[in-house]
């Protein structure tokens, strides 16, 4: 998303400041539904918005809240807002131009100020890259295969750091106030967990708590072929995000880097750049599918936990797709209820767990689009995977 042009579009998603902005902005601003696009130079936008439209507790730099985007992206962004019906609006956060539901604004400073502990273990990823699978593996290793303890919901054992930005502030009908998915519960769990805390995040590396640099907790990052990620994310968004568009439109959103937690490559490459640091382990979904025992050994060594061959075999069986898909503790039933306004849904959180399912979904034209998109984003990078385009 380039910002070099002198004439740019600044897209501001903020329901709390909309009324104020509509009164204060000048006539060169165009309103498109609930999204306001400003056609100004970067300097002009900074003067216009620097203090008037930025909440002081979010950031000192306007770039942390407002995204500079080219004109071509504006209609796509408007369409996204109408397609993902579970969310009211979106913000785009710098550095990295990460797309997030607009409630992120209320939590940004809390995330930045969160006190990391050196004993923490974080699992990070872009959505649908094997996060839940990795979380269960990590928790079981750290807890010496306590399968009885693993019967507790994963969101109690391994809370989702930025969960509060995804859900309404009011308790959804039909959801117990003490459910780990209820408003405020994930943040409470994180801040009251004994050491070592296990925490999940999809945030880009630069947006992690500022204390990460000093306290250096262990971070395990898992990634996956973006074509499979896109396919899985599509079905996930139908179940949890109220997505109402076609698959072809979703591919456009994904390649346009406009879905929540996008851009994909900014997410991946930020962690890839840190892979040589002692507290960071980079793994891939495809490695886990090819030989899970090898990955279990790598993760165990990284966490300084010794597992004997029998324990590795037992854990491998526990982590099989057959076992995981039937495991209510990791299938996030409460999440599905939250995102569907408390209503029960006859759907599964885990769908196939396959490598290469994109071949059953992407057209030849879409495959070529993925190729161009990948090549563009990997120019100058030493990232060696997911470039096997024919």
Catalytically annotated residues: 202
**Cα 106 from Cα 312, distance rounded (Å):** 42
**Cα 275 from Cα 281, distance rounded (Å):** 6
E-assigned strand segments in the chain: 8-12, 29-32, 35-40, 67-69, 90-93, 98-101, 121-125, 198-201, 218-223, 280-284
Q: Measuring CA to CA, which residue among 188, 196, 125 is closest to residue 159?
A: 188
Rounded to 5 degrees, φ, ψ at 99 are: -80, 135
């Amino acid at each position: 998303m380039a910002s070099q042009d002198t004439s740019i579009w600044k897209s501001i998603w903020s329901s709390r400041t909309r009324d104020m902005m509509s009164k204060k902005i000048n006539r060169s601003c165009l309103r498109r539904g609930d999204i306001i696009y400003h056609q100004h130079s970067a300097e002009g936008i900074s003067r216009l918005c620097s203090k008037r439209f930025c909440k002081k507790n979010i950031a000192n730099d306007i770039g942390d809240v407002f995204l500079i985007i080219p004109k071509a992206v504006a209609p796509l962004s408007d369409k996204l807002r109408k397609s993902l019906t579970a969310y009211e609006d979106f913000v785009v956060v710098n550095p990295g131009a990460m797309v997030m539901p607009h409630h992120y604004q209320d939590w940004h400073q809390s995330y930045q100020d969160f006190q990391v502990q050196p004993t923490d273990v974080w699992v990070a990823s872009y959505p649908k890259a094997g996060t839940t699978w990795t979380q269960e593996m990590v928790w079981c290793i750290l807890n010496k295969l306590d399968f009885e303890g693993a019967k507790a919901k994963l969101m109690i054992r391994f809370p989702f750091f930025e969960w509060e930005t995804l859900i309404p502030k009011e308790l959804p009908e039909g959801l117990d106030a003490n459910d780990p998915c209820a408003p405020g519960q994930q943040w409470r769990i994180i801040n009251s967990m004994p050491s070592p805390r296990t925490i999940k995040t999809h945030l880009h590396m630069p947006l992690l708590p500022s204390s990460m640099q000093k306290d250096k907790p262990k971070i395990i990052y898992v990634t996956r072929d973006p074509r499979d990620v896109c396919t899985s994310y599509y079905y996930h968004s139908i179940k949890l995000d109220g997505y109402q568009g076609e698959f072809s439109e979703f591919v456009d959103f994904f390649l346009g880097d406009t879905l929540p937690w996008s851009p994909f490559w900014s997410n991946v490459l930020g962690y890839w750049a840190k892979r040589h640091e002692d507290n960071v382990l980079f793994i891939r979904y495809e490695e886990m599918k090819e030989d899970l025992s090898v990955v279990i050994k790598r993760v165990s060594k990284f966490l300084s936990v010794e597992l004997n061959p029998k324990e590795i075999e037992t854990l491998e069986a526990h982590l099989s797709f057959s076992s995981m898909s039937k495991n209510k503790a990791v299938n996030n039933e409460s999440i599905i209820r939250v995102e569907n306004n408390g209503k029960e849904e006859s759907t599964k959180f885990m769908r196939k767990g396959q490598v290469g399912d994109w071949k059953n979904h992407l057209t030849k034209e879409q495959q070529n689009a993925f190729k161009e998109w990948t090549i563009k984003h990997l120019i100058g990078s030493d990232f060696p995977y997911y470039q096997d385009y024919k």
